[in-house]
């Protein structure tokens, strides 16, 4: 069955996050997704707050930029979240936006090398292993978590767009997050590249794919979607959907049939009612998805 979620954009003020969390819980949303975008808010702080305010809804973070984070700190925080709220968080890591990484002095020469090293060490630490690593970017000297996650070990997702990153995600991550710039055909191509990486890594475990899908509804939905595409320099008319619940549910089904296990509906930045959007996704769209 396709999982249907909604994004709480980082442009939503932190003091409104509780309202969205409670709405997601009350209306039965499958998953609420958060972003750690510079320089809006911290992903771990926000996910922990949402999980504490709710009891059922799953919460995703897509994604934590690895140049900003020492892998030991990433492992410590993810382990704490999963011990406090077992089985309710989906946390991804990725390159981050390179311009933002440069702004904070964290941009690296080889983002793919960093992501590989980070994924490898992070997954090992979360398995409870003790590591000494001397990589190009990741260096650990006899590091292990005193409080690793309880079993089962939580999956680590990777955000990926280009072929190298998608193959790496298949090889070294437990799932992949695709951006809202991904068409249904893009999902199929991503799946093929992920499978190439899984073959290299000898992976036979499940590898779920999550994709964001731009969605607008209500008065002026089509115009707002066009404006959002222009703002994000996305010109493909196949990207995103505007319309009522039936139109949005049909789009979710197209992306799911292309290979997405989870489709997370992403509102426009100018969405006037973020809580109403969450309610629309859960109450109006979700029941219509085949």
| Strand, helix or coil for residue 231 | helix
| Whole-structure pTM value | 0.97
Per-residue model confidence (pLDDT) at position 90: 97
pLDDT for 106 equals 97
166 closest CA partner among 158, 124, 120: 158
Among residues 73, 93, 77, the alpha carbon closest in space to that of 85 is found at 77
Strand partners, 89: 59
* pLDDT given at position 246: 98
Q: What's the confidence (pLDDT) of residue 233?
A: 81
- Return all residues near 94 (Cβ < 8 A) that are at least 6 apart: 63, 64, 65, 66, 115, 158, 159, 160, 165, 177
pLDDT at 136: 98
Q: What's the chain's average pLDDT?
A: 97
Count of domains observed in the chain = 1
Q: What are phi and psi of 61, to 5 degrees?
A: -125, 115
Count of C-beta atoms within a 10 Å radius of residue 222: 11
Provide the domain limits for residue 222: 3-288
In angstroms, rounded to a whole number, what is the distance separating the alpha carbons of residues 254 and 251?
Answer: 5
At residue 62, the 3 state secondary structure works out as strand
pLDDT digits (tens, 9 = 90+) for 56-93: 999 999 999 999 999 999 999 999 999 999 999 999 99
Q: How far apart are CA 63 and CA 165, in angstroms?
A: 14
Structure confidence by residue, pLDDT tens digits, 214-250: 999 999 999 999 999 998 887 788 999 999 999 999 9
- Is residue 26 scored above 90 in pLDDT? yes
**Could you give the CA distance from residue 92 to residue 156 in angstroms, rounded to a whole number?**
6
CB proximity list for 261: less than 8 A, separation 6 or greater: 2, 3, 208, 209, 210
Q: Is the pLDDT of residue 209 over 80?
A: yes
| 106-145 pLDDT tens trace | 999 999 999 999 999 999 999 999 999 999 999 999 999 9
**Mean pLDDT throughout 8-27?**
97
pLDDT tens-place string over residues 253-270 = 999 999 999 999 999 999
**Position of tokens 């897509």?**
62
Model confidence over 136-194: pLDDT tens digits?
Answer: 999 999 999 999 999 899 999 999 999 999 999 999 999 999 999 999 999 999 999 99
Query: What 8-state DSSP symbol labels residue 283?
Result: I
pLDDT of residue 1: 85
Q: The CATH number of the domain where 68 resides is what? A: 3.20.20.30
Q: Which one-letter DSSP state was computed for residue 109? A: S
b/e map 64-100, b = 16+ CB within 10 Å: bbbbbbebbebbbbbbebbeebeebbbbbbbbbeeeb
Query: What is the distance between the alpha carbons of residues 216 and 12, in angstroms, rounded to a whole number?
Result: 16
């Amino acid at each position: 069955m396709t999982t249907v979620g909604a994004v709480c954009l980082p442009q939503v003020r932190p003091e409104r996050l509780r309202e969205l969390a409670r709405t997601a819980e009350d209306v039965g949303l499958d998953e609420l997704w958060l972003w750690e975008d510079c320089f809006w808010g911290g992903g771990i702080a926000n996910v922990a707050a949402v999980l504490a305010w709710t009891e059922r809804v799953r919460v995703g973070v897509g994604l934590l930029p690895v140049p900003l984070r020492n892998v030991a700190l990433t492992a410590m925080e993810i382990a704490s979240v999963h011990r406090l709220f077992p089985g309710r968080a989906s946390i991804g890591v990725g390159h981050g936006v390179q311009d933002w990484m440069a702004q904070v002095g964290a941009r690296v020469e080889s983002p793919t090398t960093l992501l590989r090293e980070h994924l490898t060490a992070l997954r090992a630490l979360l398995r409870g292993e003790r590591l000494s690593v001397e990589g190009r970017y990741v260096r650990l000297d006899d590091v292990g978590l005193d409080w690793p996650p309880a079993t089962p070990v939580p999956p680590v997702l990777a955000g990926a767009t280009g072929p190298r990153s998608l193959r790496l995600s298949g090889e070294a991550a437990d799932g992949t997050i695709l951006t809202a710039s991904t068409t249904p055909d893009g999902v199929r191509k991503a799946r093929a590249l992920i499978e190439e990486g899984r073959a290299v890594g000898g992976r036979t475990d499940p590898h779920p794919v999550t994709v964001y899908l731009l969605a607008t509804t209500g008065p002026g939905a089509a115009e707002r979607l066009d404006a959002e595409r222009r703002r994000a320099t996305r010109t493909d008319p196949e990207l995103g959907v505007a319309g009522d619940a039936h139109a949005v549910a049909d789009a979710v089904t197209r992306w799911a049939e292309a290979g997405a296990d989870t489709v997370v509906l992403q509102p426009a930045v100018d969405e006037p009612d973020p809580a109403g959007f969450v309610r629309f996704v859960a109450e109006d769209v979700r029941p219509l998805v085949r």
